[in-house]
Chain A
Amino acid sequence: MDTEAVVSEDSGPDRKRRVHGMLKLYYGLNEEGKAEEEAQSLDPCDINGPHFDPEHFLNKLRRECSLAELMDQETCMVKQIRSLDSDMQTLVYENYNKFISATDTIRKMKNDFKKMEDEMDCLSANMSAITDFSARISGTLQDQHAQITKLSGVHTLLRKLQFLFELPARLNKCLEMQAYAQAVRSHRLARCVLQQYSHLPSFKGIQDDCHAIMDKLAQELRQKFRDGGSSAKDLSECVELLLQLDEPAEELCDKFLSHARSRLESDLQGLEAEIRPYPSASAVKDASVRRLSSPASTGSPAASSPKASAIFSPSSNTDILEFIDRGCNEFVSSLCLVITSYQELFVSHAQTGELASKNIPQMANAKLHAFVDDLAARYFSLVERRIQEEKGVGDNSLLVRALDRFHRRLQAVTKLLPGSSVPSKGTEIVIRAATERVKQYLAALQSFYMDSLTDVRQALATPRLSVASASVGGGGGPSGRDGPNSLPELLSSLSASILNQIKSVLASVHLFTAKDITFSNKPYFKGEFCSQGVRESLVVSFIKFICQSSRQFCESAGDKGGSTPPALLLLLSRLCLDYETSTISYILTLTDEQFLVQHHSPVTPVTTLCTEAREAAQKLLNHYVKVQGLIISQMLRKSVETRDWVNTIEPRNVRAVMKRVVEDTTSIDVQVGLLYEEGVRKAHSSDSSKRTFSVYSSSRQQVRYAASYTPSAPMDTNLLSNIHKLFSERIDIFSSVEFNKVSVMTGIIKISLKTFLECVRLRTFGRYGLQQIQVDCHYLQMYLWRFVSDENLVHFLLDEIVGSSAHRCLDPAPMEQSVIEVICERG
């Protein structure tokens, strides 16, 4: 009962296992289970353990559990026992059934095997009979079989022999028919055999014959190869055959290349002939070369070249586009062809074929590179020479198209020869050509500018009806010398024509960077060409040139003072000023926009150029003032120096020279007014022209004062004029002027009057001399005040003149102011 209770205690999945374990035990499969159980537990209280001690377990339960728990335990155990029982019954039943059916099967098998044994016996009997028969048949047939085998062997051998014997004849025939390829194939088939049996005299004979024929063939092939008349395709075939004939590959490479070289060189010579200016000779050669040129030339875009050559540059035989076209079509395409066939023959073939040792491709490649480099170098030198001849800057598109084509065609070489330096050199040539072009454009712009200046100079030199002549005809332009040339018109036409020229040059140069040009996407053309080439060395250099040449006008004319017409100075100064205010930034913006300049390297900023232009403008204007001032000074000086002021008659008129000075000043005023704004001037007194000479009276006072001078009182004599000077600003005579009319006029008048003053101080005057000066000064006073920014300046200088002449007068008896006024107004 205890055992049952213990067994029924188990529940769930454990139970099943336990049942199986027991069955295992029953069938003697317990070894495994035993080991498991031993590992499991040694606990005597484990109801499923092998060491279970019912007594111990019961005692433990009784000791540890309450009654109720014991009751529960008991019920549980009974339940378990019951279920174990039923399980056992089921298992027994199942096993019994299986046992019954197994017994049945075994019985049935016993019956079947007996039948099968009989059949097997029968089969073995039959088989032995068959073996018997077969042995008999093969015994009878054996003789014939050996014979047949032998016969077929002989047949094959005979066929081979026949081939061999026929070989020389066949080769000869092939040779006759020039079917070299077949001959070589045949020979190759026979070669090994002949080689093997060469100790037999008959075969030896055949071999010798074959050798002789093949030698002849090789000779012929080589001949053909050497002749060079054959097409590239033939040639490559030749080479292929020769290679198969075990010709040394290196030699073949050399020969192939030298042959190709001769052809390419003839192309090059044709090109060279184009460069030399022998029209008739080159025409003849042209034709001959054309015949030689590869068929590829028909496919290239040569359509435009004849038309182009008809239009441009009679100085050179063919225009550059045509030249490049020819170069591309003849030389470059032949070169490509050579490269392709060469590579096919020596490089790719050698890589796959069995006929070459390993280093042939490398050797061949090296040779090819050297060859291509050499020829390309010559080609490039020719192209460069031709490009250098391209001096005219008329039409850039032709050159650009030519360069584009040149560059484009070289791309083919890149594809064929990946490692070659040819394309990069080609690009270099293009770059050089482009920079050269930019330089030429700069030179052209400069000469254009100088020409324009010459035109302007001539226009200024032609006599005009009047300085102020309102321009009627217009048009002007640097070339239109006949039209009425007013300064503003000349200026506008000059600046417009310069601007147009710059624009057209920019447009021309822009072609280099057009989208459809192959080299335009090279980094050089994207970056450096735009910023350094176009912007810096073309536009900026030109602007600098303008400033510089303007400055040179100041310097070269500095000593003589007359080589440049003053009007030109004025005009240039205005031009430079306009450049400073707007044109420079406009041009540079235009350039930057057109060329999308990305400045990688530092570029000249607009402000620097503007400063330079302004400096030039300032210098020109200063120089203009100086020149005009000197012209007037010269008149005044001559008039003072050449006169005997002591013995002169009483003044009745303003001297003619003063009228001339006023006239000239007026015309200068008009001239300057045409180009420069009025400028600011200090407020005038209500009636400036009527102003009396205060200093004249002061100088008279001075004279009176001087009469009572004491030698012990220094500094007193000139007190008044000194005080005057103390309060007036120091006058810089040859100083910088501002960019307006008033300032310019002030400068000129300052220079003139200061000269007048200095000259007066060097002379001695009689009474009437002084009076004449008075009259003259009053006259100047009447007319000059209106030109200057500060009339006090004129007053001051004129006062000084009169004062100084009074000082230098032997008999200072001044003229009455009213008389002076009468004389001046009459004049």
Chain B
Amino acid sequence: MEDDAPVIYGLEFQARALTAQTAETDAIRFLVGTQSLKFDNQIHIIDFDDENNIINKNVLLHQAGEIWHIGASPADKAVLTTCYNKTSDSRVVSCAAVWRMPCDWETGSNDSPDDSAHNPQTLELLCHLDDSPHGNAACVLWEPMGDGKRVISLADNHALLWDLHESSTQAKVSSTATLEGKGQLKFTSGKWSPHHNCSQLATANDTAIRGWDLRTMSQIYCIENAHGQLVRDLDFNPNRQYYLSSCGDDCKVKFWDVRNVQEPVKTLEEHSHWVWSVRYNHSHDQLVLTASSDSRLILSNMVSISSEPFGHLVDDEELSEGEDNHQEDKSKEPLKDSVVSTYEEHEDSVYAAEWSSADPWLFASLSYDGRLVINRVPRALKYRILL
């Protein structure tokens, strides 16, 4: 059974920001934000036609500046946040804002691609997450599975929880948490936990990973020296509430049980350079995607620490109680963690990789040279997991 060839799409600009359109569950759609200092930056809406293996793209202008981070609202398909750099008076400032796509962007795609290219529509600004007293925004996180009313932005050493009002046109800081410590501390990345009623947040700064309780905005755990070097990214296991993966400049991907922060549960060392992104598959948490500046994307099958016993489809009930499965996993016969596949379609550093929100077997990766590659989980593995 031949696996489908990867589909490659090239952007004109360099790009780092990639997200799946979270609220869209039918179409396979990714959003890419470009980085250009000289031209108007764009947001590419990449639609993937699974049947015909064709990519359709739509371009929206993002004139505010180069995009470093992009986040799609889980509730409203048309709403997204970006973190961007604004240069003014030879100063570079990082800002964050909530945007709405123009409602007729899809109609544009029906025209010839040239048309839309010539006449890119512009994003409609809903509100700035104006956090100028709190420094430069590193990323904006939507409340997972929420109603699109709450976001968190990480700016320098602050985590700000925003409430969005009036169809997101107004944003108000409801609470803040500040990272205290010696030196200039700065959040590099973060993730809003989908567990515990969405009341937890994990952030990375330098080599440490911290967990926060959003109700009290206080730190609940801290993994000091989680990585030998900078921690680049985090992701929560969607099914096992205490499990967390991280990656960083020591070329490693680590899996943590936040109840025991002394030792990682598991460590992968497959990449030959910094790992920039780690993503759990949304439904099958044994599948882990990592992107690295060694230009490779690696799909790993972490059976031993997944919520699914290998080769079994788990009931919904079991899914909700990831911890109970833990014992079951242990009792199972040899569970082999393995690298499923290494994807080498990229020529430059891969800074982002995302699973599709619509098709759990499909993912996209984005390298700095603007190349977006859409791949699928190998069929053999897919059937092994399903059957």
Residues of A within 8 A of B (CB): 558-561, 630, 646-647, 706, 709-718, 721-722, 725-726, 730, 732-735, 754, 758, 761, 764, 766, 807-810
Complex CA gap A396/B88 in Å reads 82
A732 surroundings in chain B (CB, below 8 A): 272, 294
- A717-B12, A718-B14, A764-B85 known; 14 new pairs, CB 8 Å cut-off, are A559-B225, A561-B228, A647-B91, A706-B38, A709-B39, A711-B12, A714-B12, A715-B370, A715-B371, A725-B348, A730-B344, A758-B293, A807-B37, A810-B87
| Pairwise interchain contact B369-A718, C-beta atoms closer than 8 A | yes
| Pairwise interchain contact A711-B274, C-beta atoms closer than 8 A | no
Query: Is residue B349 contacting chain A, with contact meaning CB distance below 8 A?
Result: yes
Within 8 A of A (CB), among B331-369: 344, 347-349, 368-369
Residues of B within 8 A of A (CB): 9-14, 37-39, 42, 59, 85, 87, 90-92, 113-114, 117-118, 120, 225, 227-229, 250-251, 272-274, 293-295, 344, 347-349, 368-371
User: Known: A732-B272, A754-B293, A766-B90. Is A712-B229 also a contact (CB below 8 A)?
Assistant: no
Q: In the complex, how many angstroms separate the beta carbon of A680 from the nearest chain B beta carbon?
A: 22
Task: Please give me the residue from chain B that is nearest to A733 by CB atom.
Answer: B273
| Pairwise interchain contact B13-A717, C-beta atoms closer than 8 A | yes
Q: In the complex, how many angstroms separate the beta carbon of A774 from the nearest chain B beta carbon?
A: 17
Task: Please give me the residue from chain A that is nearest to B347 by CB atom.
Answer: A725
| Pairwise interchain contact B120-A711, C-beta atoms closer than 8 A | yes
A-B contact pairs, 10 of them (CB 8 A): A646-B92, A712-B117, A714-B9, A714-B11, A715-B10, A722-B369, A730-B344, A754-B273, A807-B37, A810-B37
Q: In the complex, how many angstroms separate the beta carbon of B103 from the nearest chain A beta carbon?
A: 22
Complex CA gap A559/B252 in Å reads 10
| Pairwise interchain contact A646-B225, C-beta atoms closer than 8 A | no
A766 surroundings in chain B (CB, below 8 A): 90
A807 surroundings in chain B (CB, below 8 A): 14, 37
Task: Please give me the residue from chain B that is nearest to A713 by CB atom.
Answer: B12
| Pairwise interchain contact A761-B368, C-beta atoms closer than 8 A | yes
| Pairwise interchain contact A726-B12, C-beta atoms closer than 8 A | no
Task: Please give me the residue from chain B that is nearest to A723 by CB atom.
Answer: B347
A764 surroundings in chain B (CB, below 8 A): 37, 85, 87, 92
Complex CA gap A725/B120 in Å reads 31
| Pairwise interchain contact B37-A808, C-beta atoms closer than 8 A | yes
| Pairwise interchain contact B90-A810, C-beta atoms closer than 8 A | yes
B348 surroundings in chain A (CB, below 8 A): 725
B13 surroundings in chain A (CB, below 8 A): 717
Complex CA gap A808/B14 in Å reads 10
B294 surroundings in chain A (CB, below 8 A): 732-733
Task: Please give me the residue from chain B that is nearest to A734 by CB atom.
Answer: B272
Complex CA gap A685/B102 in Å reads 57
A715 surroundings in chain B (CB, below 8 A): 10, 12, 370-371
A630 surroundings in chain B (CB, below 8 A): 228-229
Q: In the complex, how many angstroms separate the beta carbon of A422 from the nearest chain B beta carbon?
A: 51
Complex CA gap A20/B85 in Å reads 162
| Pairwise interchain contact A647-B90, C-beta atoms closer than 8 A | yes
Complex CA gap A714/B113 in Å reads 12
Sorted nearest first, the 4 A-B pairs with minimum C-beta distance are: A715-B10, A714-B10, A732-B272, A733-B273
A730 surroundings in chain B (CB, below 8 A): 295, 344
B10 surroundings in chain A (CB, below 8 A): 714-715
Complex CA gap A726/B92 in Å reads 34
Complex CA gap A409/B11 in Å reads 92
Complex CA gap A712/B250 in Å reads 39
B272 surroundings in chain A (CB, below 8 A): 732-735
Complex CA gap A160/B262 in Å reads 106
A714 surroundings in chain B (CB, below 8 A): 9-12, 370
| Pairwise interchain contact A560-B225, C-beta atoms closer than 8 A | yes
Task: Please give me the residue from chain A that is nearest to B68 by CB atom.
Answer: A762
| Pairwise interchain contact A721-B228, C-beta atoms closer than 8 A | no
| Pairwise interchain contact A717-B251, C-beta atoms closer than 8 A | no
B274 surroundings in chain A (CB, below 8 A): 758
B368 surroundings in chain A (CB, below 8 A): 761
Q: In the complex, how many angstroms separate the beta carbon of B276 from the nearest chain A beta carbon?
A: 9
Q: In the complex, how many angstroms separate the beta carbon of B119 from the nearest chain A beta carbon?
A: 10
B229 surroundings in chain A (CB, below 8 A): 630
| Pairwise interchain contact A560-B92, C-beta atoms closer than 8 A | no
B227 surroundings in chain A (CB, below 8 A): 559
B344 surroundings in chain A (CB, below 8 A): 730
Complex CA gap A645/B368 in Å reads 21
Complex CA gap A734/B368 in Å reads 20
| Pairwise interchain contact B113-A726, C-beta atoms closer than 8 A | no
Most chain-B Cβ atoms within 10 A of its Cβ — which of A706, A764, A808?
A764
Task: Please give me the residue from chain A that is nearest to B230 by CB atom.
Answer: A637
B371 surroundings in chain A (CB, below 8 A): 715
Task: Please give me the residue from chain B that is nearest to A761 by CB atom.
Answer: B368
B91 surroundings in chain A (CB, below 8 A): 646-647
Task: Please give me the residue from chain A that is nearest to B91 by CB atom.
Answer: A646
Q: In the complex, how many angstroms separate the beta carbon of B213 from the nearest chain A beta carbon?
A: 27
Task: Please give me the residue from chain A that is nearest to B293 by CB atom.
Answer: A758
B293 surroundings in chain A (CB, below 8 A): 733, 754, 758
B39 surroundings in chain A (CB, below 8 A): 709
B250 surroundings in chain A (CB, below 8 A): 558-559
Q: In the complex, how many angstroms separate the beta carbon of B14 from the nearest chain A beta carbon?
A: 6
Complex CA gap A709/B40 in Å reads 12
Complex CA gap A646/B93 in Å reads 12
Q: In the complex, how many angstroms separate the beta carbon of A555 from the nearest chain B beta carbon?
A: 11
B225 surroundings in chain A (CB, below 8 A): 559-560
Complex CA gap A733/B229 in Å reads 15
A754 surroundings in chain B (CB, below 8 A): 273, 293
| Pairwise interchain contact B90-A734, C-beta atoms closer than 8 A | no
A646 surroundings in chain B (CB, below 8 A): 87, 90-92
Complex CA gap A733/B271 in Å reads 9
Most chain-A Cβ atoms within 10 A of its Cβ — which of B59, B85, B120, B250?
B250
B114 surroundings in chain A (CB, below 8 A): 712
B38 surroundings in chain A (CB, below 8 A): 706
Task: Please give me the residue from chain A that is nearest to B274 by CB atom.
Answer: A758
| Pairwise interchain contact A560-B228, C-beta atoms closer than 8 A | yes
Q: In the complex, how many angstroms separate the beta carbon of A706 from the nearest chain B beta carbon?
A: 7
Complex CA gap A647/B250 in Å reads 31
| Pairwise interchain contact A711-B273, C-beta atoms closer than 8 A | no
A758 surroundings in chain B (CB, below 8 A): 274, 293, 349
A734 surroundings in chain B (CB, below 8 A): 251, 272-273
B37 surroundings in chain A (CB, below 8 A): 764, 807-810
Most chain-B Cβ atoms within 10 A of its Cβ — which of A560, A647, A726, A734?
A734
Complex CA gap A615/B90 in Å reads 52
Complex CA gap A808/B68 in Å reads 13
Task: Please give me the residue from chain A that is nearest to B368 by CB atom.
Answer: A761
Q: In the complex, how many angstroms separate the beta carbon of B292 from the nearest chain A beta carbon?
A: 10
Q: In the complex, how many angstroms separate the beta carbon of A293 from the nearest chain B beta carbon?
A: 62
Complex CA gap A555/B120 in Å reads 53
| Pairwise interchain contact A722-B347, C-beta atoms closer than 8 A | yes
Q: In the complex, how many angstroms separate the beta carbon of B57 from the nearest chain A beta carbon?
A: 9
| Pairwise interchain contact B370-A559, C-beta atoms closer than 8 A | no
B14 surroundings in chain A (CB, below 8 A): 718, 807
Task: Please give me the residue from chain A that is nearest to B85 by CB atom.
Answer: A764
Complex CA gap A766/B92 in Å reads 10
B347 surroundings in chain A (CB, below 8 A): 722, 725-726
Complex CA gap A718/B34 in Å reads 14
* Residue in contact with A716 in the complex, picked from B9, B12, B59, B113, CB distance below 8 Å: B12
Task: Please give me the residue from chain B that is nearest to A557 by CB atom.
Answer: B228
* Residue in contact with A558 in the complex, picked from B9, B87, B228, CB distance below 8 Å: B228
Complex CA gap A710/B113 in Å reads 13
Task: Please give me the residue from chain A that is nearest to B42 by CB atom.
Answer: A711
Task: Please give me the residue from chain A that is nearest to B276 by CB atom.
Answer: A758
